[in-house]
Structure 1
Amino acid sequence: MTMTAESSTESSAGPEMPRIISVDDHVVEPPELWSSRLPAKYRNVSPRIEYLPQGEVVLDGGTYRERPGTEGRNVAWWLYEDHTYSIKRLIAAAGYPYDEVSVEGITYDEMRPGCWQPKARVADMEMNHTDASLCFPNYPRCCGQLFNERQDKQLSLLCVKAYNDWMVEEWCGDSGGRLIPLCLVPLWDADLAAAEIYRNAERGVRAVAFSELPTWLGLPSIHSGYWDPFFSACAETGTVVCMHIGSGTRTVSPADDAPDAVTASLIFCNSAASLVDFLYSGVLHRYPDLKLMYAEAQIGWIPYALERADDVWVTHAGWSGAKNNIPEPPSFYYYRQVYGCFFKDSVGMDMLDRVGIDNITFETDYPHTDGTWPNTKEVATRLFGHLDAESVYKIARGNAIKLLGLDFD
């Protein structure tokens, strides 16, 4: 089914805002996602929901350290092997005032149904001027790090495949193309990852979650050649490598006793490091059809990162290895193959000509506390509604349609 953007006729205030295609939202996985799909012998060790008392929550870098408490009200906990994780208001914040959003645990009844039910999600999208949405996972974390960290890799592989089957068949299946599938891969094996890319591409999947900084997960670097089967599969199938902030698990912090606000403010630094790493790696040179997308990192930092990388390519070429893998300046590969994503970045809009009008996409970040639901149209209009109609269209939806091969106008 092909869907058409709303009229973009000019007005004195600028073009009418087309309906948004969001390339970064999130889903709270339903309680029976894995238990309903995995063999019975894994029922007591695979991911499952139990209602247990709230415990103490400690944010340690990019992960939570927590255990259920012994008293108090029960909240929803994911249990999986030795891992425990409570579902938090912070990640199901849609509809709640900022001052009521915390890391306290909640139940499914205490979140909007759109957080975890596909039909309710589409209804919430209708309330938010949004045509389509690409959703990153919650419990497995942004690129499925959870499964990479567990001991039983046979079970981990089953969990990855079960998630992908659920994503394609249940989350996206009856949405008429409005929910866009984003799948995971077994990060611990590049050949298995490539096989999963091919398996999902056969059923129309064109997006995969990957880590910004795989070495921070204890995995080989993108310079090693280890990931070539994965990158080759993505390039061949047109599968976009989508890297969300936090997908390196660790976060930048200048001090152990710095408030969490410091790491929250610096979270884009991981994406900056990842982008420069890719630009110099030769991966984009060797796979010219490969596309990268950085989710929720915003875009205002990109122009200087490109300027510095291009300058190093020239002025430090004699000793730094800058030209060993790439015959063109780093920015060449960015403009050809990389997309940024934003929803709160007036600085990026001020430097749009250097960020690249063809290199950016938009997001709503539903249902996270940073998200703009249900006011995304107003936010988008304030950020880029003053631009010409073609530019507004590209940012709001056109670039996402091109990047992901969507059946929209």
Structure 2
Amino acid sequence: MRDGYRILDADRHVIEPLDLWEAHLEPELRAHAPYLAYAGEGEPLADRVAYAGPEGLIPLPPRPMMDGRPIHHRMSARAWRAVASAGRRRSARLGPLELPQAHIADMDREGIDVAFLYPTTALMLLGMAPLDAALAGALARAYNTWLRGFCDHEPRRLRGVALMSPHDPAQMVPELARAAALGFRAVVLRPNPVAGRTLGDPAYEAFWAECERRSIAVAVHEGAHASLPAAGADRFHSRFALHACSHPMEQMMALLALIEGGALERHPGLRVAFLEAGCGWLPYWLWRLDEIEYRSLAEEVAPHVRREPSAYFRRQCFVEIEPDEPCLEQAIPWLGEGNAIFGTDFPHIDHDAGMVERALALRGRLPGEALRRVLWDNAARFYGVEE
């Protein structure tokens, strides 16, 4: 506990060692294991030094690749330099994050009791396109096997979230069963369409039904630089713009897909969380869906949308807040005090140290017991953490 609060980090990330896929992929697929390679900077040294200073003298580190392609789509040399520089500083400060001990040490410093762990590289691998469906499933299986071993270092505090591949819908239920057998109580999906299928596509119906039956929580988590269809990618090329668009806008469409496709209507016990985009988009989005779309077009979707969209969210959905985002005092009560959760996004570069401190600073802004619910109760209910 910290300052009298139990803290559940609902969105923390591992930094996977690339050799996990060589170790855990099926033998016939190991030739496809990701690897590091130099992709070339494409910038004269003088230009690099002009914008990066002495840092520009350091050659760019190799990039993660798979089958001859960088796993980060449209990652400029400047953006990769910024990411790599932040990674070096992070490693110098925190130690090797490929090891669970580094996570436990940081959790102890921050006062975090329990953390749910999400992928970094593995999430990007499943954002590649085209991607053979059998390979995509194997990549997810290998990651889930490795993650189980990672969490076994301290299973009470390190809780894994299994990665699901929507590239082959028929294999999602078997992998869900395997993940449950490994002890995972939550799974993560990207929001991007795959082969034209949104999350509301009928092809995923058996998966949603099985998540509901097993009481497995489902997290929707985007990652920039996907070569799958992603918001903003049809008109922007910089990381600045792609990252800005992909996270909130893909979450907006993912929620819409689950409502419009009827998944939330058919599966009222399904629990879904939308991560790493803040919550500020939700009041406007739900207001628009209720007051503009549903009020005038409810008849069109009446067979599978039988209540206002906001009612589905309040009944069975959760959203990760950003402690510094504006208007939380209004947004959280409007959304429902039981629907907001907190995550650090550790150790990604867009969320630096001190996230817990900033969350605790909300004591003076949120009413009553709202902060206690945000820091522990709501996420514990979402993930099914026993008190």
Determine if the TM-score, normalized by the shorter chain, exceeds 0.5.
yes
Give the alignment's TM-score, normalised by structure 1: 0.78
The 5 Å alignment of 1:262-277 reads 262-266=241-245, 267-277=247-257
Question: 2-side partners of 1:21 and 1:308: how far apart?
Answer: 32
Coordinate RMSD, CA, aligned: 3.3
Give 3-state SS (helix, strand or coil) of 1:36's partner.
helix
Distance 1:56 1:325, change over 3 A: farther
- Which of 125, 131, 144 aligns to 1:150? It is 131
Distance 1:331 1:39, change over 3 A: closer
Q: Which residue does the alignment assign to 2:208?
A: 231
Higher helix share: 2
Q: Which residue does the alignment assign to 1:288?
A: 268
The 5 Å alignment of 1:219-368 reads 219-246=196-223, 249-253=228-232, 256=235, 260-266=239-245, 267-312=247-292, 314-317=294-297, 321-343=300-322, 344-368=324-348
Distance 1:114 1:397, change over 3 A: farther
Instruction: For 1:47, give the aligned amino acid.
Output: P
Instruction: For 1:24, give the aligned amino acid.
Output: D
Count of aligned residue pairs for this structure pair: 364
Give 3-state SS (helix, strand or coil) of 1:308's partner.
helix
Distance 1:31 1:246, change over 3 A: closer
Q: Which residue does the alignment assign to 2:116?
A: 134
Give the alignment's TM-score, normalised by structure 2: 0.82
Q: Which residue does the alignment assign to 1:65?
A: none
Q: Which residue does the alignment assign to 2:64?
A: 78
The 5 Å alignment of 1:67-216 reads 73=59, 75-85=61-71, 102-104=82-84, 111=91, 112-113=94-95, 115-141=97-123, 144-146=126-128, 149-151=130-132, 153-168=133-148, 170-214=149-193
Question: 2-side partners of 1:264 and 1:81: how far apart?
Answer: 24
Question: 1-side partners of 2:232 and 2:370: how far apart?
Answer: 36
Query: What is the CA distance between 1:369 and its match in structure 2?
Result: 1.6
Instruction: For 2:113, give the aligned amino acid.
Output: D
Question: 2-side partners of 1:335 and 1:388: how far apart?
Answer: 18
Instruction: For 1:83, give the aligned amino acid.
Output: R
- Which of 18, 25, 32 aligns to 1:31? It is 18
Q: Percent identity?
A: 22
Contact conserved, 1:21 with 1:130, CA < 8 A, in 2?
yes
Distance 1:221 1:376, change over 3 A: closer
Question: 1-side partners of 2:213 and 2:331: how far apart?
Answer: 33
Q: Which moved more, 1:75-84 or 1:277-286?
A: 75-84
Give 3-state SS (helix, strand or coil) of 1:371's partner.
coil
Query: What is the CA distance between 1:315 and its match in structure 2?
Result: 3.0
Unaligned runs of 5+ in 2: 44-56
Distance 1:212 1:107, change over 3 A: closer
* 1:227-247: CA deviation from partner (whole Å, max 9, x where unpaired): 111111111111122111337
Q: Which residue does the alignment assign to 2:361?
A: 382
Instruction: For 1:284, give the aligned amino acid.
Output: L
Contact conserved, 1:188 with 1:219, CA < 8 A, in 2?
no
Contact conserved, 2:71 with 2:125, CA < 8 A, in 1?
no
